[in-house]
Structure 1
Amino acid sequence: MNGLPRTKVELLKPEQATALERDGYLLLRGAVPAAWRDALRAAFDAGVGTGDQWAAPRGPGWRHALVDLDPLVQQTCRLPPLLAAAAQMLGEPFFLSQVEGREPLKDGGHQRLHRDGAGMKSVSALVFLDAYGPDNGATRVVPRHLDPGYLNQEHPDQTEPDETLSLITAGEAGDILVFDADLPHGATCNRSGARRRSLLLSFMLPGNRATMEASRAIRNVRMDTSEVFVP
């Protein structure tokens, strides 16, 4: 990390830190300034293109947006409460590895409960740009204390936890859901067709930097990822 730009991260509020440690996720209500939200939605819509703009095919049932060079998107990824939550979970220096826009289309978006980045110790976050809930594809999570601990190679006969363990998030534009990437989670179906734009971003430890750099092109990462955030 020598020579890389370093940014000191502030501490999470004690009550938020306690909830995050208990549940493995935290909803930061209204974290995105209201004055930013229209511009972020515009950045999302401007970043939506055709399928050939992506180096790797994107899944059906979703609208995807290239947003990682937008200055306001970059500011949003650096909101102090968001960085504080990531620092609380990671406990050591980390970097922003990716950000892109995602939106479930009508009757699309449903995902099986899954874990991301197995063994990579990473943090994911969803910045909601529209109101979200069970009717328009909101994300569901299994709280840490209910996590059965499979979805991994140790239990090949148990492929996913009981859906009844999951909680569907709901809230307003400007909320941020930040969570341990290995916590079981998944989007729900957008039954109503109402817009549910979001920014999906990932924070990782520097030990993963070489792997992430090697896959920049296929992940369509164009931004500078050299900044290191220090708890």
Structure 2
Amino acid sequence: AHGDLPAVPRWMTAENLLALTCPFYLSKFVDESTQTCDFENQEFYDYLTWCKTWAGDGSIPPQDEQALLTHTVISNVANAVTQTEGTEETPMTYVGFPVETGYGHLLHISAEIGISNETDCPAGTEAFLTYCTEHYAALACRDIPAVAADLEAEIDRCAQGQTMDFYGRSKVLNEDALDKFRQLLKETTVVAGADEALLSMMGDEAAYFFAGEKTAQETAAILRDRVGLYLMEQG
């Protein structure tokens, strides 16, 4: 029934697909606690091949494009638990790779935007931010609170219909989506930051494989040496 749909949107290149999935999957090949890594195995070869095979060509279609798998960033509670009033529900599933260790889910809580005490013009800065949030509804979205009471207050705002989408249309609470979101919070038990240096190495070397300049085995061997040296230096 979905034979004509691409696996992912066309803009999703192999590099993009790797960058989006690697934070979930990296702990399968790298153990920072023991300063060891293992890329020379069939699972890693298959992972690189999957990214290359499923990827789009990087082109931007003239209009919205449907795909079997799409990606969205949940930047605030309303994105996760509401839908625009009068529109069809867009099913959302939180997906993590089934690894024995590492992060099955990725939940990022951003720091709040504030006005620095060192600014030369605090009044002007405040006026600018006020103007933006009053005239552009989408900019008034709030991050996911790390404090439980604040989170519940945000959910209550959603339940009372006090949120809106990018175009200023009212949003209504989706109870099923709220249940899934609460389950995500319940199951997210590991708090850690992604190692940007490791992710950068992965992207650098995988690019040669995606371009057809190196095999998966050659890429794995190079990563073994680069990542191994990096882990030793960090120790």
The TM-score range, normalised by the shorter chain, is under 0.3
TM-score normalized with structure 2 length = 0.21
TM-score normalized with structure 1 length = 0.21
The higher radius of gyration belongs to 2
- Structure having greater relative contact order (Cα 8 Å, sep ≥ 6): 1
- The answer to which structure has the higher strand fraction is 1
- The answer to which structure has the higher helix fraction is 2
